[in-house]
Chain A
Amino acid sequence: MNTVKDKTVYRSDANDKVSGKALYTGDMYTGSMLVGKVLGSKYASARVISIDRSAALAIPGVKAVLSFEDTPKIPFTPCGHPYSFASPEKKNMYLLTNTPKYVGDPVAAVVASDEMTAKRALEALRVEYEVFEPVLTLEEAMAEGAPLVHESCPGNIMASFCEYSLHDDWQKRLDASDFKIHGVYSTQQVQHCHMEPCVSIASMDGSGRITVTSSTQVPFYVRRRAAEALGIPEKRLRIVKPYVGGGFGAKQDMVLEALTAFLTMSVGGRPVMLSYSREECMSSTRTRYGSKFDITLSAGSDGKMRGMDMECIYNGGSYATHNHSIALTGANFCRYPYEYGTYHIKPVTVYTNITTGGAMRAYGAPQMVFAVESSIEDLAVKMKVDPLQFRLDNLQRPDYVEPETGIPVTSNELRQCLCRGAELIDWKRKKEQYPKQYTGNIRRGLGVACLGFACATVPFNVEVSGARLTFNEDGSFILQIGATEIGQGSDTAFAQIAAETLGVDFSDVVVVSNQDTDVSPYDGGAFATRQTYTCGSAIVKAAAELSEKILSYVSRLKCIPLSSMMIKGKNVVLAATEEKVMSLNDVALHSYFDKTKGEVL
């Protein structure tokens, strides 16, 4: 229809955001709300012997002091993927713990009239710990006889499944080569540092229903996991997501939502705001976790790779959430760009007494890309071939089909991309010239790397997205989705998709930006580069259906064949001449109010 395509539009939330009117969770704080605060463990591995609350409770304005004894003893996982790799025994987080497993692990929480009082109450808590030796690095955690992070997990191995190889005789194929390199490549912990720290506000109504307003990427997943952690049915929970100040994966887990709900339950349902400081976001939410890749890569003198053997060991931190599935995803992505000849890939995720690892921007790909590309570079250097040419000689076929899943990779134009990039960068000339710079503080280098990436979590999960389009009385449209805008611009893309499919102007589709699990259509949320594809597909379906309904209604009213009409701008028009048949405004009014021919569209 081309009402939107190839036209510049502006973000649907732009005016709200530049004027300071956009409300984020913390902006809904009112002075009458109570404020929650969390006491994080001082030790990386310990047992809480006792907590003396008397001094804290004596402070005027302190409403509740809570610890492990008060919380439901239900282990949970904060990761919401339906078939997450967190199998039952991998649910090991508690709302508050008595055996803290990293510095910052919540051991107590207070609720008070305001932030100052809450802080004073935390300072007044006397906690006695039995301190254990922590394991902080992969080496420490995997050492013979190392202290266990979780008693139930021998050797501190969180998970090691999904080891796979392309051929049974991969070792033989890898060894039948002229050049071979072995290298160990490590990456370190990174924190998302979304500008808006994690925050939730919860209150409970007279019937016991709890509303949690939260800065989250995944409101529906949070509802399920919070219900599980609290031991209450999902129908008692309502999660509301307003504007979110960035997430990058940290808010792809349940973070504070269940605990905030628990706090309001502990004070008779009064509204409680619980927020993490920047420091607490760093210490107690999630990280892109560190990794160690042990890679052997070989090639023949014909410049073709013969095989790759890769063991990827991830420092998953203290609790099970996305961790191992991130390791698997990284391992998956490395197969898209290159033909390795053969490969053997073994992902291992290890528990340590540091902040829990989780999703962050590209879910495992950056760690893997750094390691694999470094190793390819090392091999090219050893073979004395141009690293760009070496990559070009080993690119994956454009008609490649994933052997494990049978999914064809249909969008591989890496060869064209690399050649064009080399041209623009002036690769050849610079590659010859740059090694000759032996003086000066600033010397330039040249590099190339490839990345394969897939959108959505298929084939590990199914993807579900809902969309609801409402036809207003004036012929404009309201679009509701469960997919979450967290800064990436999805609301704008969704309005474009709806407008384009309907044939109306972008400005005539209003997207409801806030998600509310009571009213929004179901959706997984913002992760895995999935929303434009999955939710966008749902919107196309909904818009096509509504368009068909509108045209078929007009067809009956005006006795014009449906197929000869279309929607254009604010009108239903004849497809051939674009002559106006009826305005959408009139169509809507008739459909709602015509006593004989009215029909809900």
Chain B
Amino acid sequence: MILNVNNKEYLIPQEHEGNTLLSVLRNDLHLMGTKKGCGTNDCGACKVLLDGEAVNSCMLPVKKAAGKSVVTIEGITNEDGSLHPIQQAFVDCGAIQCGFCTPGMIITAKALLDKCPKPTESEIREALGGSICRCTGYGRIVEAIMRAAEALRDVSTENENER
């Protein structure tokens, strides 16, 4: 089968078609940014964007991702290696400690902000419901997403003005 990840098409070996999306991302495509925290759909460390929705990849059969667009944390970073405004906001707000949940948090934030450019704090907390962090206590993560939303709105206003 063919899998589209970060705008590239990959041929998945037939014997791995029965594996989970997470396993294929990590073991076949060597995209190690997506983490396995529980393997039971509970912690959100393995979140990726599937057609724009943040989903856990640890129990998702890779076949269910066929014909869809998968974006991992590696695909969030700009092509020139510079950080996406959400990533930058996580850095600026100190929303990272051990970093193991961070890719999943950023994916969750991306899915939220694409749909809802001006979220309230409770909408952010709701969106983070499936993502566990054991270091931070979430405060700075929420703050980072707020700040990212502002930054992204500024960018889109600029784009509007240019037009």
- On A, residues with C-beta under 8 Å from B are 10-11, 13-24, 26-27, 29, 31, 192-197, 243-246, 248, 277-278, 486-489
Contact = CB atoms under 8 A, between A and B. Distances in A.
Interface stretch (B36-44, B62-70, B120-128): B36-44
A20 B73 contact: yes
Contact of B73 (A13, A19, A243, A278): A19
B102 interface: yes
A20 B37 contact: no
A26 to B, nearest CB: 7
Given A10-B91, A18-B91, A195 B83 contact: no
Interface centre among B91, B94, B100 (most CB of A within 10 A): B100
B104 to A, nearest CB: 9
B77 A17 contact: no
A278 B39 contact: yes
Interface stretch (B49-57, B132-140, B154-162): B132-140
A14 B97 CA distance: 8
Contact of A18 (B87, B97, B133): B87
Given A19-B83, A243-B99, A246-B135, 15 more contacts: A18-B88, A20-B76, A20-B103, A21-B33, A194-B134, A195-B35, A195-B45, A195-B133, A243-B98, A244-B98, A245-B37, A245-B98, A246-B134, A277-B39, A278-B39
Q: Which of A24, A194, A487 has the most CB of B within 10 A?
A: A487
A150 B102 CA distance: 43
Interface of B: 26-27, 31-40, 42-43, 45, 72-74, 76-77, 83, 87-88, 90-92, 94, 96-103, 106, 132-135
B34 A11 contact: no
Contacts of B133: 195
Contact of A13 (B45, B99, B132): B99
A246 B32 contact: no
B94 A24 contact: no
A21 B72 CA distance: 12
A246 B100 contact: yes
B33 A14 contact: no
A487 B39 CA distance: 22
B63 to A, nearest CB: 17
B44 to A, nearest CB: 10
B94 A195 contact: no
Contact of A196 (B35, B96, B103): B35
Contact of B33 (A19, A31, A246, A488): A19
B27 A487 contact: no
Given A194-B134, A195-B45, A195-B132, A17 B99 contact: yes
A108 B25 CA distance: 30
17 contacts: A10-B94, A11-B91, A11-B94, A11-B96, A13-B99, A14-B91, A15-B83, A18-B90, A19-B33, A20-B31, A21-B33, A24-B35, A192-B134, A195-B37, A246-B135, A278-B39, A487-B98
Nearest to B98: A487
A21 B88 CA distance: 15
Contacts of A486: 98
Contacts of A22: 99
A13 B97 CA distance: 9
Nearest to B81: A19
B32 A193 contact: no
A423 B43 CA distance: 39
A246 B106 contact: no
